[in-house]
Amino acid sequence: MPLNPQQIKELEAYRGTNPIPADFDDFWLERMAEADDVALDYEIFPSGVPSFDTCDFLDLWFRGMGGARLYARYLRPCSPRPLPVVLRFHGYPGRTRSWLENASFAGMGFADVTMDNPGQGGRSEDVGGFAGTTVSGHLTAGLDGEPKDMYYVRLHQDIRILCRIVRELPGLDAGRVCVYGDSQGGGVGLATCALNPDLIGRAGILYPFLSDFREIWELGADQIAYEGIRYYSRWFDADGSHADDRFRQMGYVDTLSFAHLVRCPVLFGTGLADTVCPPLTQYAVYTALTCEKRHVLYPDFGHEEIQAFDDLLIDFFCSEEVDLSCRPSAL
Q: Render pLDDT for 66-97 as a digit per residue (tens, 0 to 9).
A: 999 999 999 999 999 999 999 999 999 888 98
- The beta strands (E) that lie in the chain are given as 42-46, 55-63, 69-77, 83-89, 111-115, 172-182, 200-206, 266-271, 293-298
Domains of the chain: 5-318 (3.40.50.1820)
Q: Quick one: average pLDDT of 172-196? A: 98
Question: Residues near 224 by Cβ (< 8 Å), separated by ≥ 6?
Answer: 275, 276
3-state helix, strand, coil in the chain (%, to 5): 35, 20, 45
Q: Tally the C-alpha atoms within 13 A of residue 136's C-alpha that lie toward its C-beta.
A: 22
Q: Quick one: average pLDDT of 147-152? A: 96
Contact 63, 70 (CB under 8 A): yes
Peptide bond preceding 93 in cis form (omega within 30 of 0): yes
d(CA 25, CA 30): 9
Angle between helices 279-288 and 5-13 (to 10 degrees): 50
Confidence band, pLDDT 50/70/90 cuts, at residue 326? very low
Query: Which 8-state DSSP code applies to residue 147?
Result: G
Query: Which 8-state DSSP code applies to residue 66?
Result: G
> What pLDDT, on the 0 to 100 scale, is given for residue 72?
98
For the chain, give the percent of residues with pLDDT over 70: 96
Q: Of the candidates 304, 303, 309, 305, which has an alpha carbon nearest to the alpha carbon of residue 276? A: 303
> Which residues face 298 on adjacent strands?
271
pTM: 0.94
Q: Quick one: average pLDDT of 250-268? A: 98
Q: Quick one: average pLDDT of 114-131? A: 90
Cα dist from 220 to 213, 224, 227, whole Å: 11, 11, 10
> Is 90 exceeded by the pLDDT of residue 193?
yes
Q: From the CA atom positions of the chain, what is the Rg in Å? A: 19
Question: In this structure, what is the dihedral angle of CA atoms 274, 279, 285, 287, given to the nearest 10 degrees?
Answer: 140
Phi and psi torsions of 178, nearest 5°: -115, 160
Question: Residues near 62 by Cβ (< 8 Å), separated by ≥ 6?
Answer: 40, 41, 42, 43, 69, 70, 72, 161, 162, 165
Cα dist from 234 to 18, 222, 227, 295, whole Å: 19, 12, 11, 36
Q: Considering Cα of 293, then 296, then 301, then 305, what sign does the dihedral take?
A: negative
Q: What is the pLDDT of residues 200-230, one digit of tens each?
A: 999 999 999 999 999 999 999 998 899 999 9
Q: Quick one: average pLDDT of 269-283? A: 97
Confidence band, pLDDT 50/70/90 cuts, at residue 135? low
> Is 90 exceeded by the pLDDT of residue 5?
no
CB-based burial of residue 98 (10 Å sphere; 0-12 exposed, 13-18 middle, 19+ buried)? exposed
**Per-residue burial over 64-89, b = 16 or more CB atoms within 10 Å of its CB, e = otherwise:** bbeebebbbbbbbbeeeeebbbbbbb
The pLDDT mean for the chain works out to 93
